[in-house]
């Protein structure tokens, strides 16, 4: 299994923690899925009234790796400041770096993303950048100090699946030694399996589980799909071909005249 900044995960499913109907359902989703990473937003932290403390206590009880994010940030300064605050709150150098450039699609601002990644990497952070499938941007992020890339499948919360399979396949081929995680846009377990069949190392999602009729069952379904896709990728799958080929041998077949 691929390492993420020196950490091996027992499960390639990463789950978000927002939008669940209740804390109990959130906890059940993590339990049934076995997800190894929980992404959390610093924006749930409060001021003097200490609202949100029960939520953080719940996250700690999950016993998983915590990946704070900079969700909702639109500038380099905002993302860097949020990351620094998250490190203090959660006591981890991991940060899922988001710098949003366009509101309707939540498309990453890739220029600001690279700059923020450079600043945070130099400050000792282990950056998981939410990016596009652009190979040039990926190269810039790696040069900025990132050791993981997290291209989107499609816009956050859209459930569209993989909008650019060619781009993701090209990224996997271009960066064979870099841990790659498809982050955002997945709506069905079959799409998660497709990601893993492409040779990616993990998937990260939130809405597809949290907004399902039965979030815990959907979380388990995604976990099974991730495992199936991962197993398929290592099983040396057959190449597609244009012509049909009979699966039953024709040698020894009786011919009637």
> Active-site residue numbers?
96
Distance set, CA 106 to CA 71, 98, 130 (Å): 10, 10, 11
Helices (H) and strands (E) in the chain, counts: 9, 12
Give the 3-state secondary structure of residue 131: strand
Rounded-to-integer distance, Cα 182 and Cα 161, Å: 10
Q: Would the CA dihedral through 104, 110, 116, 122 be positive or negative? A: positive
Q: Would the CA dihedral through 243, 247, 252, 257 be positive or negative? A: negative
What is the four-CA torsion angle of 67, 41, 79, 209, rounded to 10 degrees?
80
What is the four-CA torsion angle of 139, 117, 133, 29, rounded to 10 degrees?
140
The DSSP secondary-structure symbol of 237 reads: P
Q: Output Rg (C-alpha) for the chain, integer angstroms.
A: 20
Q: Which residues pair with 164 in a beta bridge?
A: none
């Amino acid at each position: 299994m691929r390492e993420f900044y020196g950490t091996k995960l027992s499960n390639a499913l990463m789950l978000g923690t927002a939008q669940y109907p209740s804390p109990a359902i959130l906890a059940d989703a993590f339990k049934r899925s076995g997800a190894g990473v929980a992404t959390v937003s610093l924006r749930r932290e409060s001021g003097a009234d200490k609202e949100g403390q029960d939520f953080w206590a719940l996250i700690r009880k999950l016993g998983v790796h915590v990946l704070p994010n900079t969700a909702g940030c639109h500038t380099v300064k905002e993302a860097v400041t949020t990351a620094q605050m998250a490190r203090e709150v959660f006591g981890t150098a991991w940060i899922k770096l988001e710098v949003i450039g366009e509101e309707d699609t939540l498309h990453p601002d890739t220029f600001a993303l690279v700059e923020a990644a450079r600043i945070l990497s130099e400050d000792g952070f282990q950056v998981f950048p939410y990016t596009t499938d652009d190979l040039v941007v990926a190269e810039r992020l790696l040069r900025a100090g990132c050791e993981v890339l997290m291209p989107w499948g499609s816009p956050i919360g859209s459930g569209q699946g993989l909008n650019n399979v060619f781009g993701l396949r090209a990224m996997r081929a271009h960066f064979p030694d870099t841990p790659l995680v498809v982050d955002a846009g997945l709506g069905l377990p079959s799409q998660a399996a497709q990601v893993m069949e492409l040779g990616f190392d993990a998937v990260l999602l939130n809405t597809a589980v949290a907004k399902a009729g039965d979030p815990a069952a959907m979380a388990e379904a995604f976990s099974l799909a991730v495992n199936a896709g991962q197993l398929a990728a290592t099983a040396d799958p057959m190449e597609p071909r244009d012509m049909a080929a009979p699966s039953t041998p024709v040698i020894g077949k009786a011919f009637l005249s």
